[in-house]
Amino acid sequence: VKKFFIGFGVVSLLIAGVLSYFASSSPDGLDKTVEDTGIAEHAREHPFSGSTFADYAFGGDDRFTGLAGVLGVIVVLAISFGLFWLLRKKSPQS
Amino acid sequence: MINFPILPGASGHLLGGALAAILVGPYVGALCVTIVLVVQALMFADGGLTALGANVTNMALIGTATGFLVAVALRKVAERGKGGLAAVAFVSAFVNTLVAATGFIVEYAIGGVGGVEIGKVALLMWGLHALIGIGEGMITAVTVTSVASIRPDLVYLLRGSAKPLEVRS
């Protein structure tokens, strides 16, 4: 049982830490749509665009994309564990 | 985070609704996608803060619900074996992507700025997301069949049909 979760974690970290370097930097479907139609001209800058991990980098440095990815996995896991622990069904006794 | 190329100058990324719904069910699945969207918007400045509501509506709620409904409708096929499960995962993820894109089109028609003709927005969104849906379908099929081949009891869609767990001491 534990093996599955360890394997699951290793695959997640590899995808976030290594595969992320091969991600396409072209605009996604929605970005492309709003750019081509001019809707994007009405967009404002993201309030956190200057934050440490903005755009999956570290202080604007793309060489740390893998680090940003790994931290993202850890943060999502931590929040999920916390939330689902709070939301768990409590047994009627003890 | 990880965008795959679909055309020169355009890419797509996983939305994850069908994937989450097939693996953990629609309610927990919608929460999982929401957590990812919130972390992406707050920590990585990917996805606007004021757009977070629309993103959760389209990808976490509409996307997950659509993926789940399609997968449940095709459950008989999914229970036939690995190929069937892969096909169901692919189709539900493809439909999930197109319907989530439709969510944006409807929202733009209701309250979007810029006054762009809605047909133009719809055509671009659907065209691009049909291609993205193929990527979404492939990722979902590979992930779901991988989990199913090791731990079929962890696939929500197969609950009740998977072989009972062997009890080992």
Q: What interhelical angle do B82-111 and B63-73 show, nearest 10?
A: 140
CA distance A94 to chain B (A): 25
Cβ–Cβ below 8 Å for B114 and A33: no
**Could you read off the pLDDT of B25-47 as tens digits, one per residue?**
999 999 999 999 999 999 999 99
Its sign, for the CA torsion A3, A71, B1, B26, is positive
DSSP H or E stretch at residue B11: strand B10-12
HSE-CB of A20 using CA atoms within 13 angstroms = 24
Cβ-proximal residues to A65 (8 Å cutoff; 6+ apart), any chain: A20, A21, A23, A56, A57
Q: How many residues does chain B have?
A: 169
**Could you read off the pLDDT of B137-161 as tens digits, one per residue?**
999 999 999 999 999 999 999 987 7
Q: Within an 8 Å CB–CB cutoff, is residue A77 touching chain B?
A: no
Task: Please name the amino acid found at residue A54.
Answer: A
Nearest to B39 by CA among A13, A10, A53, A12: A53
Average pLDDT, chain A: 91
B142 vs B90, B138, B139, CA distance in Å? 9, 6, 5
In chain B, residues with a C-beta closer than 8 Å to the C-beta of A41 are: 114
pLDDT at B131 over 60: yes
Secondary structure (DSSP) of A75-94 = HHHHHHHHHHHHHSPPPS--
Q: Within an 8 Å CB–CB cutoff, is residue B73 touching chain A?
A: no
* pTM, entire model: 0.91
Q: Within an 8 Å CB–CB cutoff, is residue A51 touching chain B?
A: yes
Quick one: average pLDDT of B77-85?
94
- Of the candidate ranges B9-13, B56-60, B99-103, B111-115, the one whose mean pLDDT is the lowest: B111-115
**Could you read off the pLDDT of A11-33 as tens digits, one per residue?**
999 999 999 999 999 999 999 99
